[in-house]
Structure 1
Amino acid sequence: MILEGAADSAQAELPGIGTDALLDRAINRIFDVADRASSGIGAEEAVLDAALPLGRRVIKHLSELSDVLASSGTDVTLSWETKATARRASFSSESAERCRSALRAAQVEDSNARLEGTVVGGSKVRGVIEIEVEGSGVVVIRTLKEDVTALVAAYAERHVVADVHVLTARSPGGREHRSYALLDLSLQENADE
């Protein structure tokens, strides 16, 4: 099977993709899940860590894909090459079963929350800002890559209030995996100056 992305001019019309090709980013996410499903001990938890930021709909589709591979007993070798990346991964029927089990057994919930803390960093490459929340440590929050630099410049080492969308998956073993997406960020009122 060969997948081809849209022409570069069409890619530029899509919001929030920056210089990355949308298809390349999507395929790399599938490779991340496949690699973690093949990692052996702790693979189920690693699969949830990789899949959770993708959202409920993608988790469902990955579960269906891994179901097909696990049910067929087929081992698959995935390869992907673009000007920017080259990846290769093996997805055995056993690793597909681990992936399917982890994704089907996880209880996924959506909610919104408000976090108060101090902006301590960020990564434009990963599209995240980091807020240190008392009692919780550093919370990594996804945002648009092009917004990271401005947010860190404006709020670094300042007390903030972050409204976030939280996607929580609970594994059968009782672990909770959380993914945070930024909705709004503002200075905390009454913060010490």
Structure 2
Amino acid sequence: MSANRVESAVLGEWLRALQTTVQAVANAMDDVRPTQDAGPVPRDIQRATRLLSGPVFASSYGMVLEGAPDTAQAELPGTGSDVLLDRAVNKIFDVADRASSAAGAEDAVLDAALPLGRRAIKHLSELSEVLATSNTDVTLSWETRATARRTSFSSESADRCRRALRAAQVDDEDTRLEGTLVGGSTTRGFIEIAVEGSGVLVIRTSKEDVTALLARYAQRRVTADVHVLTARSPGGREHRSYALRDLSPREGADTP
């Protein structure tokens, strides 16, 4: 990129990668249906997360990208005021911010990206590669009625992000946990289970289910069937993300 100019090939590749990354992250953050890492992103999510090109301006080089109209967001069940596009873009900003940190950036990137699953990790890596290989720096701003954020994604931090995501060994499995349900969050969509020998584990689930699960099982012994995604960084650290499949009272435990 030079003053007031950018190579058309780099711009086109960046915009394509940005759009597919937004869709993949939004699909991973959809609270209504289970996340799938294979097959196409559902059409309603694709429509609701379209980025439309607006005015171009000259500073170093700038472009305005606008989200789909609110009516497209309303097609998605369960989004309410917590718009899926806004959540997806904010998550991408989270990853960019962590890649820019001076110390522990690679582990921080994995912690942010791992809960999104394999598809989103792949697209985040591709998005980073465009900047890393073209020696391009970008500054991103995002404004909605609920959000105002700004982040910088340099070629150096993009390379750090790409290396962290590509070098990590990612495995997944279904397993069963036994412990005590000790808390949760309806805002962020998770429950907390205290498991002997492992501490308190944060387990993602649909926001709509959290209140009922807490009402029924809070401070009780439970059995949780979960999907575990594990990423091992080159330095040997393990990052785990848990998604709830089923929750039931532990055999022999009292039920309400």
TM-score of the two chains, using structure 2 as the length reference: 0.72
Range with greater deviation from structure 2 (157-166 or 147-156): 147-156
Aligned to 2:174: 112
CA–CA distance in structure 2, aligned partners of residues 136 and 192 of structure 1: 23
Range with greater deviation from structure 2 (24-33 or 2-11): 2-11
Aligned to 2:218: 156
Asked if residue 144 in structure 1 is aligned to residue 192 in structure 2, the reply is: no
CA–CA distance in structure 1, aligned partners of residues 83 and 109 of structure 2: 24
From 130, 150, 157, the equivalent of 2:192 is: 130
Structure label with greater radius of gyration: 2
1:75-127 deviation per Cα after TM superposition (whole angstroms, max 9, x unaligned): 11011000000100011111111101100000111111111100000011111
1:18 touches 1:146 (CA, 8 Å); kept in 2? no
Instruction: Give the C-alpha shift of residue 192 in structure 1.
Output: 6.0
1:112 touches 1:163 (CA, 8 Å); kept in 2? yes
CA–CA distance in structure 2, aligned partners of residues 61 and 16 of structure 1: 25
1:3-57 deviation per Cα after TM superposition (whole angstroms, max 9, x unaligned): 4333333323324434311111110110000000011110000000000011100
Q: What is the alpha-carbon root mean square deviation over aligned residues? A: 1.4
CA–CA distance in structure 2, aligned partners of residues 142 and 27 of structure 1: 19
From 176, 180, 183, the equivalent of 1:121 is: 183
- Matched to 2:234, the amino acid is P
CA–CA distance in structure 1, aligned partners of residues 80 and 95 of structure 2: 23
CA–CA distance in structure 1, aligned partners of residues 243 and 65 of structure 2: 29
- Matched to 2:67, the amino acid is G
Secondary structure in 1 matching 2:106: helix
From 237, 243, 253, the equivalent of 1:181 is: 243
1:105 touches 1:172 (CA, 8 Å); kept in 2? yes
Range with greater deviation from structure 2 (148-157 or 31-40): 148-157
Instruction: Give the C-alpha shift of residue 148 in structure 1.
Output: 1.2
TM-score of the two chains, using structure 1 as the length reference: 0.95
Secondary structure in 2 matching 1:4: strand
CA–CA distance in structure 2, aligned partners of residues 159 and 18 of structure 1: 33
1:110-152 deviation per Cα after TM superposition (whole angstroms, max 9, x unaligned): 1111111000000111111000000100000001112111111
Asked if residue 97 in structure 1 is aligned to residue 159 in structure 2, the reply is: yes
CA–CA distance in structure 2, aligned partners of residues 171 and 21 of structure 1: 32
CA–CA distance in structure 1, aligned partners of residues 133 and 109 of structure 2: 19
From 168, 172, 175, the equivalent of 2:230 is: 168
CA–CA distance in structure 2, aligned partners of residues 83 and 95 of structure 1: 29
Secondary structure in 1 matching 2:87: helix
Secondary structure in 2 matching 1:174: coil
Aligned pairs for 1:9-88 within 5 A? 9-88=71-150
1:16 touches 1:144 (CA, 8 Å); kept in 2? no
| Unaligned runs of at least 5 residues, structure 1 | none
Cα 1:149–1:192 shift into 2, 3 Å: closer
Aligned to 2:22: none
